[in-house]
């Protein structure tokens, strides 16, 4: 028998007969396999048999080739031969198929076995299941790969720090942010090594709070300050770094650079600031424009009211009524301008009052009849007799729509006619209350169509879609020929839509156009209609039902024309009127004489209305008298109403002053000094006593007005001519035709005013020069405002524009800019010199 076979038989008998070895091997949780030198299995413990899912009879005496696929059996044989060749134990982790057919992982050790004589008698294989460990390691390696990829490629900055706030790992983006290409260069550093001390300290305090509280700091905008570069901004999140057991072992965080966003926000904030400044400037402009426009409007409406009280024939009364209606339309348009912000935001609210549809249409036609007559056009109006005349809605907006549409028709029609038709909407009968098909209204409703038909130039089909857009006319040639902004139809369309209708158009080039829209409005009941008619009849007469007692009224108003209007209204209502040209003069007169009421203009030179009111209220402290002060404002802005109340005024009237509104306010005033209370001597004594009492406790609030600002006596005028004329070189400096139309007294009145203007202009220009050079914004604004009003009387538009700019700059306190101040001053001196030369030419021509 060969020696190897004998050794193998000996080993078989040894392992099979050793009960001690078998018991020890079977108690192990490891799989144990003993192979003979020729590869035959001579022993396997119970753990091995269970692992493989076999019995000892299935594997005894078998080699690897009989149990495994060839490639696996071959690898096992190579490993066995290496161990048997004396190369020592072999340790490896290898993949193997389990008893259930699935693949798993084992860690195994192959070692040679020697007998007591040192002879190699076999091979021992020990292995155990490490599938879970291998899978966990593979998962960990995969997660490590993901983390490395993330840290390498993410554009945001990611970091991990220990409890001492030292960096233990950072992303490539963060290393680059810190000025390094190698992330290893950051490890071990703290924020103190990178940022300024202030930022590093703040970051350290944040991280300590995160560690102590365990709460994350999420999405905080943080300013990063660097020692050697401009500041940056980041959006950062800082979190506690926890171990597997949940113990906090440091912090981690992620931040995104938002420097560009912050700069954009800063630019946006600056843009918003500039927009707010522009909006405030717009509001101030609207307020000033309101004042400037409403002042002549006050004169127009007031004089029309006064004229209506005089004996008039039928034609004259119709003319006056047309003036009043036209003034109302102009005021409506002015209110649209003042509500510009509401128009932009589409927040206009419609009125809901009783009105006469026929009256509004005829009023709109009457406003435009003169223009039509000048062009030889006929204006026609037809109406369905079945339609009710009294409706509930917004007559002002409806008239604005009609004026725009009829005005456009007249504008673009050279011959023929313009017709306004009002018809019941086809197929729609008036709806009674409770009709579920109509809107929920207190009374019945009427649906009607208003059409404006002309025989004008017409609009081509290609242009009809665009004609209702803002700032659009049919083509550029019509803009040049007819003028206008093209905004009227766009506003009209929006107003029609606000009323629930749709503006539509039918047109044919060379034949004419028809604009039409359908509306459905509530019908006014009989009582409301009768009240409307009664109000219309009483609008131009004194309401005798309103009790009026003679009042002593102090009127503080700087405009001469407005002084005449208000005085005329007061006297026609039976009251005494006393004039003060500014707030300071009103205050002085109030101290000197007793009055029952003060009508106080808001915007006046020297001292404005609110300042004068505050001065009066201050002097009233401790006494038992409170004189009613009514503001008279042309601005009609909410800010002015608030300012009236805050300054101590009791109520306010909006220019132009309506006779009935003035009468209603005056009726609420009870005279403190009725004329019938005593004889004249008693009244005079009481007045003097009260005036003395006020003077004894009063303190003058301003120094005496300089002589240059006193109203000069009318100087001698050399020009005796019955006409106004100046040289061509001065023609652009003054608008004499406009001056003559505004200034009473004809040519003589204009010349007298020109002489006064000359002295006042010279004085105010000298004052403005000193104010601008001294940077006195308040004085410059006050003097510029005064000169601006004086310029408007003679039509010195170019000088007025310069003065307006000075007033604006002074109001915004921008005169401290030397370059701007020099430029404004030079423009003032140049333009005033031209205007004064023109005035001299006028006075001596």
Q: What is the mean pLDDT of residues 399-423?
A: 90
CATH of the domain at 237: 3.30.450.20
pLDDT for the residue 319: 85
pLDDT digits (tens, 9 = 90+) for 342-354: 555 455 677 788 8
pLDDT digits (tens, 9 = 90+) for 359-404: 888 888 877 887 888 888 998 999 888 888 899 998 888 988 898 8
331 lies in a domain? Answer: no
CA angle 633, 636, 637 (to 5 degrees): 120
- Is 206 in contact with 238 (CB distance < 8 Å)? yes
450 lies in a domain? Answer: yes
Q: Before 621, cis peptide (omega within 30)?
A: no
Same domain, 493 and 453: yes
Same domain, 584 and 616: yes
Q: Is the dihedral of CA 781, 782, 786, 787 positive or negative?
A: negative
Same domain, 601 and 663: yes
Same domain, 788 and 650: no
Domain end marker among 707, 735, 763: 707
- Of residues 703 and 450, which shows the higher confidence score? 450
143 lies in a domain? Answer: no
Query: What is residue 831's three-state secondary structure?
Result: helix
CATH of the domain at 383: 3.30.565.10
CA angle 284, 276, 492 (to 5 degrees): 65
Query: Which pLDDT band, with edges at 50, 70 and 90, does 192 fall under?
Result: very high
Which residues are within 8 A (CB) of 337 and not within 5 positions of it... i.e. 6 or more apart? 286, 289
94 lies in a domain? Answer: yes
**Residue 709 above 90 pLDDT?**
no
Query: What is residue 398's three-state secondary structure?
Result: helix
Domains contained in the chain, number? 5
Same domain, 528 and 558: no
- Which contiguous run of DSSP H or E holds residue 224? strand 217-224
Using alpha carbons, select from 547, 344, 516 the residue that is nearest to residue 420: 516
Residue 599: CB atoms within 10 Å: 26
Same domain, 362 and 489: yes
Beta strand pairing call for 232-242 and 248-257: antiparallel
- Is 763 in contact with 786 (CB distance < 8 Å)? no
Residue 665 has φ and ψ, to the nearest 5°, of -70, -40
Same domain, 489 and 354: yes
CATH of the domain at 588: 3.40.50.2300
699 lies in a domain? Answer: yes
**Residue 712 above 50 pLDDT?**
no
pLDDT for the residue 294: 63
Cα separations (Å) of 151 from 141, 159, 180, 238? 15, 9, 15, 17
Q: How much of the chain exceeds pLDDT 70, in percent?
A: 76
pLDDT digits (tens, 9 = 90+) for 607-664: 889 999 999 998 888 777 889 999 987 554 556 677 788 889 998 887 667 777 788 8
Query: Which pLDDT band, with edges at 50, 70 and 90, does 11 fall under?
Result: low
Same domain, 385 and 507: yes
Q: How much of the chain exceeds pLDDT 90, in percent?
A: 22
Q: What is the mean pLDDT of residues 409-428?
A: 87
**Residue 504 above 80 pLDDT?**
yes
pLDDT for the residue 703: 36
Task: Report the distance separating Cα 397 and Cα 47, nearest Å.
Answer: 101
pLDDT digits (tens, 9 = 90+) for 136-173: 888 888 888 888 888 888 899 999 999 999 999 999 99
- Is 315 in contact with 674 (CB distance < 8 Å)? no
pLDDT digits (tens, 9 = 90+) for 473-489: 444 444 444 444 344 67
- Is 371 in contact with 410 (CB distance < 8 Å)? yes
Task: Report the distance separating Cα 113 and Cα 119, nearest Å.
Answer: 8
Domain end marker among 686, 707, 728: 707
Locate all alpha helices (DSSP H) within 668-796, ordered by sequence: 680-697, 736-742, 746-774, 777-794
pLDDT for the residue 793: 67
Query: What is residue 634's three-state secondary structure?
Result: coil
284 lies in a domain? Answer: no
Same domain, 511 and 447: yes
Round the average pLDDT of the chain to a whole number and report it.
79
**Residue 458 above 50 pLDDT?**
yes
- Is 287 in contact with 637 (CB distance < 8 Å)? yes
328 lies in a domain? Answer: no
Residue 233: CB atoms within 10 Å: 19
- Is 783 in contact with 770 (CB distance < 8 Å)? no
**Residue 517 above 90 pLDDT?**
yes
Same domain, 726 and 703: no
641 lies in a domain? Answer: yes
Same domain, 190 and 125: no
**Residue 792 above 80 pLDDT?**
no
pLDDT digits (tens, 9 = 90+) for 593-613: 899 999 998 878 888 899 999
286-290, 381-385, 450-454, 567-571 — most confident range: 450-454
Domain end marker among 707, 734, 758: 707
Q: What is the mean pLDDT of residues 662-672?
A: 81
pLDDT for the residue 62: 92
Task: Report the distance separating Cα 786 and Cα 606, nearest Å.
Answer: 9
- Which contiguous run of DSSP H or E holds residue 552? strand 552-556
Same domain, 703 and 725: no
* Enclosing domain of residue 784: 716-844
pTM above 0.85, yes or no: no
pLDDT for the residue 285: 66
For residue 424 the two structure tokens come to 């019941």
pLDDT for the residue 512: 92
pLDDT for the residue 295: 63
pLDDT for the residue 557: 86
């Amino acid at each position: 028998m060969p020696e190897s076979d004998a050794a193998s038989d000996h080993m078989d008998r040894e392992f099979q007969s050793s009960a001690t070895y078998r018991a020890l091997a079977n108690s192990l949780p490891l799989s144990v396999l003993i192979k003979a030198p020729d590869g035959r299995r001579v022993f396997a413990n119970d753990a091995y048999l269970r692992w493989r899912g076999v019995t000892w009879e299935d594997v005894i005496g078998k080699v690897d080739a009989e149990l495994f696929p060839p490639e696996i059996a071959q690898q096992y044989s190579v490993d066995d031969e290496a161990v048997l060749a004396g190369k020592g134990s072999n340790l490896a982790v290898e993949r193997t198929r389990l008893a259930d057919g699935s693949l798993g992982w084992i860690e195994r050790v192959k070692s040679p076995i020697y007998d007591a004589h040192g002879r190699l008698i076999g091979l021992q294989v020990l292995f155990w299941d490490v599938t879970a460990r291998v899978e966990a390691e593979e998962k960990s390696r995969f997660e490590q790969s993901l983390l490395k990829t993330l840290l390498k490629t993410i554009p945001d900055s990611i970091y991990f720090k220990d409890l001492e706030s030292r960096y233990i790992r950072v992303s490539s983006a963060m290393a680059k942010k810190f000025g390094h290409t190698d992330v290893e260069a950051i490890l071990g550093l703290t924020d103190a090594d990178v940022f300024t001390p202030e930022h590093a300290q703040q970051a350290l305090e944040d991280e300590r709070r995160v560690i102590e509280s365990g709460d994350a700091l999420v999405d905080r905008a943080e300013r990063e300050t660097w020692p050697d570069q401009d500041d940056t901004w980041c959006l950062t999140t800082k979190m506690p770094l926890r171990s597997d057991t949940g113990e906090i072992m440091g912090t981690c965080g992620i931040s995104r650079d938002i420097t560009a966003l912050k700069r954009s926000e800063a630019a946006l904030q600056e843009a918003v600031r500039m927009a707010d400044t522009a909006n405030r400037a717009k509001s101030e402009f609207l307020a000033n424009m309101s004042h400037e426009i409403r002042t002549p409007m006050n004169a127009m409406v007031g004089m029309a009211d006064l004229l209506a009280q005089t004996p008039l024939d039928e034609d004259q009364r119709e003319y006056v009524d047309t003036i009043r209606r036209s003034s109302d339309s102009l005021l409506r348009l002015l209110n649209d301008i003042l509500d510009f912000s509401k128009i932009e935001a589409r927040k206009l609210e419609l009125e809901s009052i009783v009105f006469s549809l026929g009256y509004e249409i005829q009023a709109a036609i009457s406003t435009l009849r003169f223009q039509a007559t000048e062009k030889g056009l006929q204006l026609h109006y037809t109406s369905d007799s079945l339609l009710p005349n009294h409706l509930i809605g917004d007559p002002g907006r409806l008239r604005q729509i009609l004026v725009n549409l009829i005005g456009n028709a007249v504008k673009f029609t050279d011959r023929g006619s313009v017709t306004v038709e009002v018809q019941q909407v086809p197929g729609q009968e008036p709806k009674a209350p409770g009709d579920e098909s109509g809107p929920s209204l207190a009374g019945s409703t009427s649906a009607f169509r208003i059409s404006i038909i002309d025989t004008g130039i017409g609009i081509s089909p290609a242009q009809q879609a665009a004609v209702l857009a803002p700032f659009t006319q049919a083509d550029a040639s019509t803009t040049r020929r007819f003028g206008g902004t093209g905004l009227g139809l766009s506003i009209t369309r929006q107003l029609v839509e606000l009323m629930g209708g749709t503006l539509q158009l039918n047109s044919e080039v060379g034949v004419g156009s028809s604009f039409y829209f359908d509306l459905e409005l509530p019908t006014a009941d009989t009582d409301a209609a009768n009240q409307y008619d009664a109000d219309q009849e009483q609008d131009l007469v004194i309401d005798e039902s309103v009790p009026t007692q003679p009042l002593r009224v102090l009127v503080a108003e700087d405009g001469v024309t407005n002084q005449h209007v208000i005085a005329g209204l007061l006297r026609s209502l039976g009251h005494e009127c006393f004039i003060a040209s500014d707030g300071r003069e009103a205050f002085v007169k109030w101290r000197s004489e007793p009055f029952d009421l003060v009508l106080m203009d808001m915007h006046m030179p020297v001292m404005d209305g609110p300042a004068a009111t505050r001065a009066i209220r201050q002097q009233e402290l401790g006494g038992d008298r409170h004189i009613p002060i009514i503001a008279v404002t042309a601005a009609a802005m909410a800010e002015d109403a608030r300012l009236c109340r805050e300054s101590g005024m009791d109520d306010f009237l909006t220019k132009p002053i309506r006779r009935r509104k003035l009468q209603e306010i005056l009726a609420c005033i009870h005279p403190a000094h009725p004329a019938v209370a005593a004889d004249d001597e008693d009244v005079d004594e009481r007045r003097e006593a009260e005036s003395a009492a006020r003077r004894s406790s009063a303190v003058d609030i301003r120094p005496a007005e300089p002589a240059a600002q006193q109203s000069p006596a009318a100087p001698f005028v050399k020009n005796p001519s019955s006409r106004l004329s100046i040289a061509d070189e001065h023609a652009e400096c003054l608008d004499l035709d406009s001056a003559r139309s505004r200034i009473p007294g004809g040519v003589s009145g204009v010349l007298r005013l020109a002489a006064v203007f000359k002295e006042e202009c010279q004085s105010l220009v000298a004052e403005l020069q000193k104010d601008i050079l001294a940077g006195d914004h308040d004085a410059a604004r006050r003097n510029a405002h005064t000169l601006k009003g004086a310029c408007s009387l003679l039509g010195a538009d170019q000088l007025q524009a310069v003065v307006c700019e000075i007033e604006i700059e002074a109001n915004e306190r921008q005169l401290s800019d030397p370059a701007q101040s020099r430029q404004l001053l030079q423009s003032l001196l140049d333009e005033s010199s031209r205007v004064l030369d023109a005035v001299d030419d006028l006075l001596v021509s």
